[in-house]
Amino acid sequence: MDIKDKIKEIEERSGVQFRNVSEHNDRELYLDTGRDDFLKTCLALHKELGSPVRIFFAEDDPVNGKFRLYCGFESAAPAKWVFVRIELPKENPVCPSLSKEIFSASLFEREIFEMFGIEPVGSPTQGGSNFTTRSGPRGFIH
């Protein structure tokens, strides 16, 4: 089965609507979705592809006043990266947290929050984590 056919099946079963599906090369597929469908799309890909979140990063678009989030999953057959991509306005940089459902997203979410200020709403580690709170030696300044 072609990956685009598999994506169409996932779209139909999960009830999400992709704004755009594009291939940038023979190994990468991008699914553009809205903030409201982001969590649902990522959960569907996690389940259907049997992949944890392999990569999750943000991009700053200062010209258009937006951030873009890319959440990457790996499809084994055929071998391809599948990225869920959303745009967020800088005035309200929040997105639903994936880490409650997909543990592999938690470190990525914290890093994106620290670097860009994009808040993962509903994150179990919101407000600090063991990595950023008083876990260093005495006198260590964070």
103: pLDDT confidence band, cut at 50, 70 and 90?
Answer: very high
pLDDT by residue (tens digit) across 69-93? 999 999 887 789 999 999 999 999 9
Q: How far is the C-alpha of 71 from the C-alpha of 53, rounded, in Å?
A: 7
Q: Report which of 138, 140, 99 is spatially closest to residue 122, judged by C-alpha positions.
A: 99
Which CATH entry fits the domain spanning 3-92: 3.40.50.620, 3.40.50.1470, 3.40.50.720, 3.30.460.80?
Answer: 3.30.460.80
Domain ranges of the chain: 3-92
